[in-house]
Amino acid sequence: MSNVPTITIDGKQIEATPGKTILEVARENGIYIPSLCFYEGTKNPGACRVCAVEVDGARSLVAACVMPISPGMVVKTDTERVKQARKLVVELLWSSGDHNCLTCERNGDCELQDLVYRFGIEKPRFDIDPPGYGIEDTNTMIQRDLNKCILCGRCIRACNEIQINEVLDFSLRGSHAKVGPAFDADYINSECVFCGECVNSCPVGALTFKQARFMGRPWELKKVKTTCPYCGVGCQLDLNIHDGKIVKVTGNREYGQPNLGSLCVKGRFGIDFVNHPSRLKTPLIRIDGELREASWDEAIGYAAQKLGDIKKTHGADSVAGLCSARCTNEENYIFQKFMRAVVGTNNVDHCARL
Amino acid sequence: MAGLAAAFGSGAMTNSIDEIEHTDLILATGTNTTENHPMIGARVKRAVRKNGAKLIVIDPRKIDLVKYATLWLRQKPGTDVAVLNGLMNVIIAEGLHKADYVADRTENFEALAQTVKKYTPEYVEEISGVPADDLRKAARMYAGAKRASLLYAMGITQHITGTDNVKSCANLAMLTGNVGIEGGGVNPLRGQNNVQGACDTGGLPNVFSGYQQVANDEARAKFEKAWNVKLPGKPGLTVVEMTNAAHRGDLKALYIMGENPMLSDPDLHHVEESLKHLELLIVQDIFLNETAELAHIVLPSACFAEKDGTFTNSERRVQRIRKAIEAPGCAKADWEIVAALSTKMGYPMTYGSAKDIMNEINIMTPSYGGIVYDRLDGEGLCWPCPTKDHPGTAFLHKDRFTRGRGLFHAIEYQPPAELPDTEYPYILSTGRVLYHYHTGTMSRKSIGLNERCPESLVEINPSDAQQLAISEGQAVRITSRRGTVSATAKIVETPPPGTVFMNFHFREAAVNLLTNPALDPIGKIPELKVCAVKVEAA
Ligand code: SF4
Ligand code: SF4
Ligand code: SF4
């Protein structure tokens, strides 16, 4: 154990892994340090400064999210100086944007709002002066309102370091800084592949799922964990349900394998087929060349009778069945059981080869 | 996945998805991973960018992964066996293979060594167009990696030599001791979400669940006892054989649950005629798809969000789906419909829930023995998982192959069934795009996906486009011996000169009107990746 550095946070002795930052060690040990820019799995946050802490021997406050621990380090997270510094950061962020929670999709699920509330800030000391950007409304999937952007850089790191799609970056610097695709293009005109990772990472309402707008407040949504119905990766995701409808799909990093909370465009934005008006709602039987609506009793009765007749006249092997790579294990199992045990043939396959 | 099963004793992905991100080298062949398996694609990219892994891409198309590759071998379509034999030729000639592993764990090495002898880099260059030096570099790089993961998908299997291609991949991995170790393996990436599960649960003409052979008396006796009926022992017909039997009039009735062969099968004219010959076509689906339009009876089913159940992903991980909303109208879960039909036909199926069916799967299927619902709320379980206290299996063939010893297959290169000629001078290759899925039944009903990809594009290399006087966005006509389709030209460097590429998601440009139904003799997979066409401005 001699190699394990010991540090002290708020008077508590902690054994920590070398190379970790103060923020990581604190969070692993249940000590609260806020951060609006840290994003698990990405490097070099250090943008928001709300994670300020005092370190003995350092003259100024230190950003916990980038400062690696060193043996014997003594950290204080809760001093008056720290509190004031954090408050100032939050007030500056608030006043430099259009944080109108009344119509924001993230109201009740916003990390900036949470800090304002936690720090008990009635009103910022500074005049509210949003940059006045237009809201990007040029695609059907992701809405961007950069007036709410706090320039935390999470979206950039999520796009570049987690999805490695390498679409987003800061453009310009200083007070004109902006995040987005190269040449200030809209998402739809960029190399963006609409994985939605940036939206999932955004701490505020700058990036939101457009089709979910006004479809349900965060606290009204019921999340149901399930498996993506598209490709063979089998990503785990949350269907967000309101009023019996799927409102949006979110990733959940706590679910772990196989996708660690990330999704692609199909899992993220391709689920709306479920609500499509052309879904089949009733059985159909062809009568005089046309498909007509029928009851389940009629349809199942007719199918059973025809299958039985054909089996009797031409033998079981004159019948075949295709099960499906899109149905569940349970359904495929009983389908093959039906073909083998009830029809009496091994003519059962699916389109796996295609 | 007959090829892998013959070599190892199991046809599934040998290693887990997570291992791909943490291995030393990835060889990706016949997989456009970032578009077809995007979240595995992200793993590959992170392995390269964040963890310093090397990446070798073997693909005729300049796919997105090429950007991340240490080395890219651009072979002519359909020459995979030659390239893989070439790699093994170099590895054996230079003594880079793992001799102890080969001696201790495999068999038939001598035959392989004998066959690959003539596939010198120079000879392979003649066949495949891959420069001999690149082939040498790739062979050394792959053999030199401590752990190498080989990934492949439909680009390997959808050829008349698909089974041979897969066996060659298995050969290469065994030769270098890469099977049965963490971070290694031969990993077929499954296209559709539950292909693995449909195979595992007996959705194949020759096996019950868990790959228990119908022709095996003991296996059959076990199922006869459990199901209380006499069962047929003769393996049944595969998809393409079913179509042919229907065409001949031997097959009278077809019951389709959740598939759309009217868009996915090769040679669609033939498929349509065949389906029209049937006395009875029952289609059970969530939409009135192209196949359902021909049906006599259509049964509406619930989709994944409207029912409980499990899917098994590419890495053999069994995961839950959960009912989140009600199905529209009176649509029902597929299992409920099958059970109702069975009951009506005098064989009562009285399952009360999907979980009840899983209980039966647990009993009848050794590899799924311990995969019970109560254990699936976390990260799921990878089979084999024989008992309720078994943790599941991340990678297969540790210490011992499923079949005992790994089997090398000596395989000769064979050209594709249909090569370009003066009348049909181009190769047509088919596949998927990021924004759509399979026959488009689901993805084409999505607002976002259609915004990004509203129409079928045919990818043409700039040099060909120039020769054909075709410009970006122009309508083109593509004709094979079997049919003609129109699509919009997209001029890109992705396909090599002489090859055009189309996806099969769009009924308006149904590429399978063109493709060649020639089958791989063992895997019975049609050659969707290569056929000869002519290309003209429309
Ligand atoms: S949606 Fe995905 S690709 Fe597009 S900008 Fe966001 S993270 Fe990048
Ligand atoms: S858009 Fe959101 S995630 Fe990106 S920098 Fe702005 S606030 Fe941060
Ligand atoms: S989210 Fe994308 S990568 Fe994940 S399973 Fe769905 S289709 Fe595949």
* pLDDT of A352 over the 70 cut: no
For residue A229, give the chain B residue with the closest CA: B193
Q: Does the beta carbon of A163 sit less than 6 angstroms from any atom of ligand 1?
A: yes
Q: Can you tell me the distance from the alpha carbon of B389 to that of A128, in angstroms, rounded to the nearest whole number?
A: 60
Best mutation target, B255, B381, B430, to test chain A (most A CBs within 10 A)? B255
Lowest-confidence segment of A244-248, B433-437, B533-537 by average pLDDT = B433-437
- Over residues B295-310, mean pLDDT: 98
Q: Tell me, what's the pLDDT at A1?
A: 44
Domain ranges of chain A: 6-78, 136-275, 284-350
Which atom of ligand 2 approaches the CA of A156 most closely? 4
Q: Which fold has domain B195-382?
A: Rossmann fold (3.40.50)
Chain B (27-86) residues lying within 8 Å, Cβ to Cβ, of chain A: 36-40, 42, 45-46, 49-50, 68
- What pLDDT was estimated at residue B529? 83
What is the average pLDDT value for chain A, to the nearest integer? 93
Q: Is A202 close to ligand 2, i.e. is its CB under 6 Å away?
A: yes
Mean pLDDT value of segment B387-398: 93
C-alpha of residue A78 to centroid of ligand 2, in Å? 27
Task: Write the residue in B39, B242, B330 that is nearest to A320 by C-beta.
Answer: B242
- Domain residue extents for chain B: 2-189, 195-382, 426-537
CATH topology of domain A136-275: Alpha-Beta Plaits (3.30.70)
pLDDT > 70? residue B286: yes
Q: Among A48, A204, A208, A209, which is best to mutate for testing ligand 2, by the most ligand atoms less than 8 A from CB?
A: A204
B123 reaches A (C-beta below 8 A): no
Q: Pick the atom of ligand 1 nearest to A194's CA.
A: 1
- Best substitution site from A239, A264, A268 to test ligand 3's pocket, by max atoms within 8 Å of Cβ? A264
Section B463-469 average pLDDT: 95
Q: Which residue blocks in B64-131 are alpha helix, DSSP H?
A: 80-93, 99-105, 109-116, 121-128
Instruction: Work out the angle at residue A27's Cα, subtended by the Cα atoms of residues A22 and A33, and round it to the nearest 5 degrees.
Output: 70
A222 → chain B, closest CA residue = B324
Strand-pair partners of B401: B404
Of B42, B193, B324, the CB nearest to A228: B193
Pairwise CB contact (< 8 Å): A320 & B237: yes
**Closest of B99, B189, B361 to residue A336, by C-alpha:** B361
What is the share, in percent, of chain B residues with pLDDT greater than 90? 79
Ligand 2: residue whose CA is nearest its atom 8: A152
Q: Please tell me which of the candidates B238, B258, B313 has its beta carbon nearest to residue A327.
A: B258
Q: What does the pLDDT average to over B466-476?
A: 94
**Which one of A236, A281, A350 has the shortest CB-CB distance to B330?**
A281
A55 lines ligand 2 (CB under 6 A): no
Q: Which residues of A touch B157 (CB under 8 A)?
A: 353
pLDDT band at B514 (very low <50, low <70, confident <90, very high): confident
Pick the residue of A189, A209, A280 with the most B CBs within 10 A to test the interface with B by mutation.
A280
Ligand 1 closest atom vs CA A163: 7
Residue A353, pLDDT score: 57
Residue B311 sits at the chain A interface (C-beta within 8 Å): yes
The token pair that represents B446 in the structure block = 């999505």
Residue A93 pLDDT more than 60? yes
B175's CB contacts (< 8 A; 6+ apart) are: B88, B91, B92, B97, B98, B102, B112, B143, B408
From the options 2.40.40.20, 1.10.3720.10, 1.20.120.340, 3.30.365.10, give the CATH code of B426-537.
2.40.40.20
Q: Which of B350, B437, B339, B1 is nearest to B188 (CA)?
A: B1
Taking only the tens place, the pLDDT of each residue in A53-65 is 999 999 999 999 9
Cβ pair B288:A278 closer than 8 A: yes
Pocket test for ligand 2, best of A143, A148, A200, A207 (most atoms within 8 A of CB): A207
In whole angstroms, what is the distance from residue A338 CA to residue A275 CA?
A: 30
Positive/negative CA dihedral, A329, A334, A338, A344: positive
Domain A6-78 shares a fold with domain A136-275? no
Cα–ligand 1 centroid distance for A173 (angstroms): 21
The DSSP call for residue A60 is: S
Q: How close, in Å, is residue A177 to chain B by CA atoms?
A: 27
**Mean pLDDT value across residues B262-279:** 84
Q: Is the pLDDT of residue A2 over 60?
A: no
Taking CB atoms and a 6 Å cutoff, what residues make up the pocket around ligand 3?
A 228, 230-231, 233-235, 259, 263-264, 266-267; B 37-39
Report the nearest-CA residue for atom 7 of ligand 2: A149
Neighboring chain B residues of A250 at a CB cutoff of 8 Å:
none
Report pLDDT digits (tens) over B352-375.
999 999 999 999 999 999 999 999
Mean pLDDT for the stretch of residues B498-514: 84
Distance of CA B102 to the CA centre of its chain: 28
3 state DSSP class of B533: strand
Query: Cβ distance B155 to B29 under 8 Å?
Result: yes
Could you tell me which residues are beta bridge partners of residue A7? A14
Mean pLDDT of A207-234: 95
Note the pLDDT of residue B11.
Answer: 85
Complex prediction ipTM: 0.93
Helices B80-93 and B132-144 cross at an angle (nearest 10°) of 60
Mean pLDDT of A176-195: 92
Overall fold of domain B2-189: Dimethylsulfoxide Reductase; domain 2 (3.40.228)
Distance from CA of A179 to the nearest CA of B (A): 22
Q: How far away, in angstroms, is B479 Cα from ligand 1 center? A: 38
Element (H, E) at B49: helix B38-49
CATH code for the domain defined by A6-78? 3.10.20.740
**Cβ <8 Å between B190 and A232:** yes
Question: According to the per-residue pLDDT averaged within each range, which of B142-151, B267-276, B528-537 is highest?
Answer: B142-151
E strand residue ranges, A166-206: 168-171, 178-181
For position B105, what pLDDT does the model report? 96
pLDDT band at residue B1 under the 50/70/90 scheme: low
From ligand 3's centre to the CA of A266, what distance in Å?
Answer: 6
Q: Say how far apart CA B330 and CA B26 lie, in whole Å.
A: 48
B/e letters for B417-443, b = 16+ CB within 10 Å, e = fewer, are: bbebeeebebbbbbbbbbbbbbbbbbb
Mean pLDDT of the B112-140 span: 97
Q: How far is A304 from chain B (nearest CA, A)?
A: 6
Q: Is A71's pLDDT higher than 60?
A: yes
Would the pLDDT of A354 be above 70? no
Which of ligand 3's atoms lies nearest the C-alpha of B39?
3
pLDDT tens per residue across span A234-266: 999 999 999 999 999 999 999 999 999 999 999
Query: Looking at residues A279-289, what average pLDDT do you find?
Result: 96
* Chain A residues within an 8 Å CB radius of B209: 333, 336
